[in-house]
């Protein structure tokens, strides 16, 4: 079983958004960096949900369903769901102002995102290997 095209699209966007978040942060574009970090997490969560046949239409639905299907089941650590939720709030707040607190949170968020992205990439690779059907079956049982 191949990874569906829609899932591949979200995986690619996740990687692009995370890369952009770092570049923007390095160049002092804090508001844009926070936005890209949020969208990186959003698209990663959306890809995981699509693998289970769940396709929420709103951001709030993606966040809620991600928590229900991946965090509550223990597949994803609770801290990642908190970062997803908080980054959405931070994205909205930064439209008004950037504070030192938001800056510290962004740097922490990008570190966590990098770690979680590495974990997700390992999972994506497992899906593409010879045992991909078995990995997908294990995953879908969650």
Domain CATH for 68: 1.20.120.330
Nearest-angstrom CA–CA distance, 52 and 63: 15
- Whether 90 contacts 102, CB under 8 Å: yes
User: Which domain, by its residues, includes 26?
Assistant: 3-140
Please give the pLDDT value at position 61: 93
Q: What gap in Å lies between CA 138 and CA 133, rounded to an integer?
A: 9
Digit-coded pLDDT (tens) for 20-67: 988 888 888 877 887 888 888 899 899 989 988 999 999 889 989 988
Biggest alpha carbon distance in the chain? 49
- With contact defined as beta carbons under 8 Å apart, do 103 and 93 qualify? no
User: Tokens for 12?
Assistant: 């690619």
Q: How far, in whole angstroms, is CA 100 from its chain's centroid?
A: 24
Q: Report pLDDT digits (tens) over 92-119.
A: 555 555 566 666 666 676 666 666 666 6
Split into its structural domains, the chain has a count of 1
Phi, psi of 75 (to 5 degrees): -70, -35
pTM score: 0.68
């Amino acid at each position: 079983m191949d990874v569906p095209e829609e899932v591949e699209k979200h995986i690619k966007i996740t990687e692009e958004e995370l890369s952009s978040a770092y570049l923007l942060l390095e160049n002092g574009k804090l508001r844009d960096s926070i936005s890209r970090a949020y969208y990186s997490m959003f698209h990663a969560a959306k890809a995981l949900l699509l693998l289970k046949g769940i396709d929420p239409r709103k951001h709030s639905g993606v966040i809620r369903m991600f928590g229900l299907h991946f965090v509550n089941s223990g597949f994803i650590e609770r801290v990642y769901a908190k970062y997803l939720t908080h980054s959405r709030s931070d994205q909205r707040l930064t439209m008004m102002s950037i504070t030192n607190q938001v800056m510290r949170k962004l740097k922490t968020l990008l570190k966590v995102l990098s770690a979680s992205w590495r974990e997700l990439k390992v999972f994506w690779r497992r899906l593409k290997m010879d045992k991909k059907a078995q990995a997908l079956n294990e995953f879908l049982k969650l």
